[in-house]
A and B are shown apart, each in its own frame.
Chain A
Amino acid sequence: MLEGFLVGLQTAFSLQNLLMVVAGCLIGTFIGMLPGLGPMSIIAIMIPLVISLGDPAAALILLAGVYYGAIFGGSTSSILLNAPGVAGTVASSFDGYPLARQGKAGKALTIAAVASFAGGTIGAILLMIFAPALASVALLFHSAEYFALMVVGLSAIAAFAGKGQVAKAIMMTLLGLIMATVGEGALFNLPRFTMGILDLQSGFGFITLAMAMFALPEALMLVLKPKDLKADDDTIKELRITRSEAKAIAPVIGRQSVQGFFIGVLPGAGATIASFLGYAVERNIASKEQQKEFGKGSIKGLAAPEAANNAACTGSFVPLLTLGIPGSGTTAILLGALIALNIAPGPRLMIDAPQVFWAVIMSMFIGNLILLILNLPLIPYIAKILTIPRNYLIPFILFFTLMGAYIGQNNATELLILVAFGICATVLKFADYPLAPLLIGFILGGMMEDNFARSMQLYDGISFIWQRPMTFCLLAIAALLIILPSYRERRTKTRTVAISDGD
């Protein structure tokens, strides 16, 4: 472990990778701040770029930087405008915005920055401890268990991400799996479901699908439902927090970092659930007088979701790096990018490519530090980006979506597919079908079928389900997850502001 640790340190501290962290954090912060644009859109748009980098460690470091930068930036717009840029930061606006209204915007941003930093750092330490342990267990898994594990992951995503509508979420997952079967399978070189169209021989393009599912509908929603966003006060001053305030929020941050991390590890329960749950828990355990302050500008109520959402982002890397199974839309896109770079995340990642594994973890420490250093003094200036007029922003977002799809396939027909899928995705969004499960199903589809086929061949039929107890148990858990959707109701009301779906 120590060896890997040092290799990671060396890789992460190379000049190129340091630049990647800084660039990722800055891009993420900028994009995350724009209401309505989440980390998923920007990561999808950036994939062609990172693939051309050719270095998986650098690519993952850059995209991870964008991811937590976006969560960080989202809290800035939550606090200043009451318009969260990312669903994971909605809970931050409950107390952050009232604080800003009281003229304490600077203080609120500092608390958010410190809480995010602590959440991210504690999350990275926990990741360092738990990921290797989980990876060594995962090495014992056979293809049958992998297949079952993916079924569990997908069911959990459907159960958690479905906002109480599990059937719809399952349907979207199945649709993703169905779309993944179009084209030639790896195991048999037979074109399937291509309807004689030559372009479909290699299947649907992952980048095109990712853009069509996230970037395009989000940009269209900005056009359909324009919002007047104005910060109440342009001047942000008094960034300091007092010693007594620091003392009050320290235990909150500690608790919520740990809790947020473990929620982030669960598939489907990402930063959004972690931040809402963190807020609710802290409100419940606060004293009577402090409880009254929640929602009116309590510093604890701001620190809790901020620490939790950043820790959960880090936690969501655990299943990705150790099992190769993404737990959220964003990590699913990261997985797609890694596969395109010829790296298969999974338990063997630590053995086969330790420099990638450890460099990513090391870069999380660096990234969090950079976010803190960059953002504390720069907050008042960065907030100016919120004044970029929509009229320029939206055509640019659409243009970059088009370019991403074009670069991925070098084919103008792909742009038409993008627009068609984008329209479908927007209609699905209107009908309240969650889109993230579709993409996760699509990305996992190929691997899932490979593992299924391999176990079928090994056991000469479907008998692997009951011949391997672990597979059976996992599939039973998956069935339970679907039948007993525990997270049926989300406690906090869905807000009508422009937020990006998923995390």
Chain B
Amino acid sequence: MALDRWIALIMLGICLTYGYTAWFTMDAGLAPFMRQNPVWPSSFPKLLSIASVLVLFFILCGFEKSEQRALDVDYRRLHEYRLGPAAALLSLMVAYALCLRPLGFLFSTAGFLIIGSFILGERKWHIMVPVSLITAAVVWYLIQKVLGIYLRPLPGLLRN
């Protein structure tokens, strides 16, 4: 079975759960006066659940032949792609999200940019480090001072 139909199967699971919630469990907590209303909070989700289950069956049964055409991306040639760096960058983004508060904005950002370009094969440290540090400082200034959104610049330990 092709990837798109596997995904359709997963989506079917999600939509069935969604539909079950909409049809059977959601209305339990509805206040009595709202039951007089012709439209309930669950009305629109109910429609959506029916429509999406129908469409998903349509995709799963393969009624619509997917044409063989030169795709921009092809999962069958996945091994030819540079999966390692992509996965490393995604992990780096997760690490950045987790470090943003404890390490502070300046360190996390400079680290993210340096490690990011390192993952992609850059080795010119004399360019990487200053560019990353300057970017981190400038963006922090813009967000903190111009937009007025608080970002802790330094690690929590260093303050107080």
- List the interface of chain A (C-beta within 8 A of B): 48-49, 52, 164-168, 170-171, 174-175, 177-178, 181, 185, 187-188, 190, 192-193, 220-221, 223-226, 389-392, 394-396, 398-399, 402-403, 406-407, 410, 412-413, 415-416, 418-419, 422-423, 427-433, 448-449, 452-453, 456-457, 459-461, 489, 493-496, 498-499, 501
Task: Say whether B155 faces chain A, with CB atoms less than 8 Å apart.
Answer: no
B residues in contact with A188, CB < 8 Å: 34, 40-41
Task: Select the residue from B44, B58, B93, B100 with max chain A CB neighbours within 10 A.
Answer: B44
Complex interface: chain B residues within 8 A of A391 (CB):
117, 120-122
CA distance in complex: A230, B86 (Å): 23
A170 near B55: Cβ-Cβ < 8 Å: yes
Q: Is the CB of A171 within 8 A of B39?
A: no
List of B residues within 8 angstroms of A418 by Cβ: 93
Q: What residue in chain A is nearest B119 (Cβ atoms)? A: A395
B96 near A415 with CB under 8 A, answer yes
Q: Verify B97–A431 contact, CB threshold 8 A.
A: no
Are A415 and B122 neighbours in the complex by a CB distance under 8 Å? no
Please determine whether A432 and B67 come into contact, CB atoms closer than 8 angstroms.
no
26 contacts between A and B (CB under 8 A): A166-B64, A167-B58, A168-B59, A174-B52, A178-B18, A187-B39, A192-B26, A193-B21, A220-B89, A221-B73, A390-B120, A391-B117, A392-B122, A392-B128, A396-B135, A399-B112, A403-B143, A406-B100, A416-B97, A430-B75, A431-B75, A452-B44, A453-B44, A494-B70, A494-B72, A496-B72
A178 with B52, Cβ < 8 A, contacts A193-B18, A460-B38 known: yes
- B residues engaging A (CB < 8 A)? 2-4, 6-8, 11, 15, 18, 21, 26, 29-30, 34, 37-45, 48-49, 51-52, 55-56, 58-59, 63-64, 66-67, 69-75, 78, 81-83, 85-86, 89-90, 93-94, 96-98, 100-101, 109, 112-113, 116-117, 120-122, 128, 131, 135, 139, 143, 147-150
- State A52–B8 Cα separation when bound (angstroms): 39
How far is the CB of A503 from the nearest CB of chain B, in Å?
Answer: 15
Beta-carbon nearest neighbor of B98 in chain A: A412
Q: Is the CB of B109 within 8 A of A224?
A: no
Return B34 CB to nearest CB of chain A, in Å. 7
CB contacts (< 8 Å) of B69 on chain A: these are 493-494
> A433 to B117, Cβ gap below 8 A?
no
Determine whether the beta carbon of B101 is less than 8 Å from that of A461.
no
Given contacts A412-B101, A428-B7, A494-B69, contact A223 B89 (CB under 8 A): yes
Note all chain B residues with C-beta closer than 8 A to A175: 11, 52
